[in-house]
Chain A
Amino acid sequence: MTEFAEAGASLRGARLRLSAALWRRPWLKLGLLLAAPVLVFAVVYLGALVSLFVSAFWQIDSFTAAVIHKWTLDNFKTLWNDHTYCRITGRTIGLAAAVTVTDAVLAFPLAYFMARIAPPRWRALLFVAVLLPLWSSYLVRIYAWRTILAKNGALNWVLNGLGLPDAGLAYTNTAMWIVFSYVWLPFMVLPVYAALERIPDSYLEASQDLGAKGSRTLRSVILPLAIPGIVAGSIFTFSLTLGDFITPALVGGAGSSFIGNIVEDKVGQPDIPFAAAFATVPVVVMGIYLLIARRLGAFEAV
C-alpha cells in the first residue's frame, strides 16, 4: 500500500516540479505551444506559397513540357499583351465588384431588421436561417441554381405559369452574377449585422431630436457606422468571387472563363509557371483591396 502511495506522491511531485519549471520559464512553454503549428505552417504553407510565386518567373520547355529554372518575365508579358487574358481579368474583377455591390444591397435590410427590429426570439431564428446556408455545401448551392436556371427548371416554370416567355439565363454571365451573389450573401449579412447592432439607440434618438428625418438619419448616422461592416463583408464576397472557378464551370457559358478556370487548365496541362503567374493577379488585387479596407476600418468591424 505505502509503496503505491509513495509512487503516487513522487509522480505528483514530478508533475508539480514540471508545472513550476514551465511557470518560471514562460518562453519554454511558449516554444512548446507554438513549435508545432508554426513549423507546419511555415514549412508546408509558406513553403508552398513561395515555391508557387518563384515558379511564376520560370518557364516550360515547349517540346518536353519540363520546367526550366531560368528567370524570365515572359509569363507576365504574355498576360499583359494578350487581349484574351486581359478580358478574362477584367471579367473576373468586374463580376466580383458587381457581386459585392449586390450583396451589400441585399444584406443591409435583412441585417438591419435582425439587429434592430426583430424581437430576440426571431432574431435567433433569423440568425440560424443565415448561418445554415453559409455553412452548407457551396457546391450543392451552385448545383441547385444550375437546375433552377435550366431550360426545364423552376424559374421558367414560374415564368410560363405567369404567361411569360423563358428567361434563357442558363449558362450566361447573368447566371454567374446571380449565383455568386446567392452563394456569398451570408458572408455579407453577418458583419453588417454586427456593425448595425453596435449602434447605440441614443445616437438615433439624438438624430431625431435634432430634427433629422428618417432618411437623413440613415444617411448621416446609420450608413457611416455601417460602412466598416459592409467593407468587412465585401472582403469575403470580393475575394471569394475572385478566386472561384467552380461557378463559371457549372453555370457560366462558353465565354465565361474566370482567372481560376485558366489557372486550373494550365495546372492540368501542366504549365505551372504560367498558372502561377496568372494566380498572382488575384493575390495582388486582393492585397490592394485589403489596404483600402484597412483604411475604411474593416478590421475593427469583424
Chain B
Amino acid sequence: METRSTRIGLGVATVAVIAFLWLPLLLIMAYAFNSSTIQSWPISGFTFHWFHQAWHDPEVRSSLWLSLKVGLAATVIAVVLGTAAAAAIYRFRFFGREAVSFLLLLPIALPGIITGMALNSFFNFGGVQLSIWTIVAGHATFCVVIVYNNVLARLRRSSPSLIEASMDLGADGWQTFRWVIWPVLSTALVAGGLLAFALSFDEVIVTTFTAGAQTTLPIFILDNIQRGQQLPVVNAIVFVVILVTVIPVTIAQRLTGDTGVLRRGSSPPKV
C-alpha cells in the first residue's frame, strides 16, 4: 500500500531509532574494557582487569548479595500474591473487583518517588527500622503487578470449562491444579517471576527511600557515579548488570510472547 519511497524512508527512520536505542548501551559496555582510569572516548586500550577488581571488592560483593536476596524475596512474594489476585479477578465477579485491580496497578501508575516516600513515612510513623525487609516490601509492591498481569493475560486466553471438565471427571482440587491449571500457567508464572526479578534487581528510586544505610547494587552504582569514584569498577559492574537483565527478559519473552507492558490486545510476535 505504501509507496516505495515511503517504505524506504520508514526503513531508514527505523534503523536510526534502533541505533539511537542501542549505541549508548554498546558504548557503555565497551568502557568496561577500558585500560585507562580516565573516562574518555575512544577507550585507550583493552583489559579484563576491572572485572577482576570488581569481583574481589568486598563492598561490591555485599551489595550484589543484598540485591540478589532482595530480588529473590520480592519475586517469591510477587508470585504468590500476584497469582492469587489474578485467579480471583479472573474467576469471580464481585463488589469492588475494579477497585482491587486498580489498587494493584497503583504502584506502577504512580511515580516511584511517591511509592518510595509513602513507604518511608509509613515505616517512620510505624516505628519500623529500615532493613532488608523494608526494601523487599517496597519492591514487592511493584513486582506483584508484573506477575498479576502475566498470569491474568494467560488465564484470559484459556477456557474455564477446562477446570469444570476436570472436576466432572472426578479430579479433586489438587489434581485439577497439578494436571490442568499448572500446565497452562507455568510459563506465565516463570516469565512473570523473571521480569519481576529483573525489575527488582535494577530498582533504585523506591530503594533510596526504603534502604536506609544499606547498599544494593544499583545504590552502589549511583553513589559512585555521583561522587565520580571507582568509575572503572562501576563500568565493569554495569556490563554485568546489562547482561543479567537481558537474559531473564529474553527468556520471559520467549515463554509468553508478552511484553510485560501491554496488558492485552494484539499478541506480539514470538521470537
Chain A positions near chain B (C-beta within 8 angstroms): 12, 15-16, 18-19, 22-23, 26, 29-30, 33-34, 36-38, 40-42, 44-49, 51-52, 55, 106-107, 109-110, 112-114, 116-118, 120, 123-141, 143-148, 150, 152-154, 157, 182, 185-187, 190-191, 194, 197-198, 201, 204-205, 208, 214, 236, 239-240, 242-246, 249-250, 260, 263-264, 267, 272, 275-276, 279, 282-283, 286, 290, 301-302
Contact = CB atoms under 8 A, between A and B. Distances in A.
Contacts of A33: 84-85, 87-88, 91
B75 to A, nearest CB: 15
Of the candidates B80, B222, B225, B253, the one having the most CB atoms from chain A within 10 angstroms of its own CB is: B225
Contacts of A267: 117, 120, 209
Contacts of B253: 127-128, 131
A211 to B, nearest CB: 14
B11 A113 contact: yes
B38 A152 contact: yes
B84 A51 contact: no
A191 B13 CA distance: 18
A48 B222 contact: no
Interface string B75-112: 00000111011011001101000001001101101111
The 10 closest A-B pairs by CB, nearest first: A243-B111, A152-B40, A48-B122, A144-B28, A48-B118, A19-B173, A109-B13, A33-B88, A144-B24, A52-B118
Interface of B: 1-3, 6-7, 9-11, 13-14, 17-18, 20-22, 24-25, 27-28, 31, 38-42, 80-82, 84-85, 87-88, 91-92, 94, 100, 103-104, 106-107, 109-115, 117-122, 124-125, 137, 140-141, 144, 167, 172-174, 176, 195, 198-199, 202, 204-205, 208-209, 218, 221-222, 225-226, 234, 238, 241-242, 245-246, 249-250, 253, 259-266, 268-271
A141 B20 CA distance: 12
Given A30-B92, A250-B226, A267-B120, A282 B221 contact: no
Contact of B222 (A18, A246, A301): A246
11 contacts: A15-B172, A26-B91, A30-B88, A33-B87, A136-B202, A139-B221, A139-B222, A140-B25, A143-B225, A144-B28, A153-B40
Contact of A157 (B18, B41, B85): B41
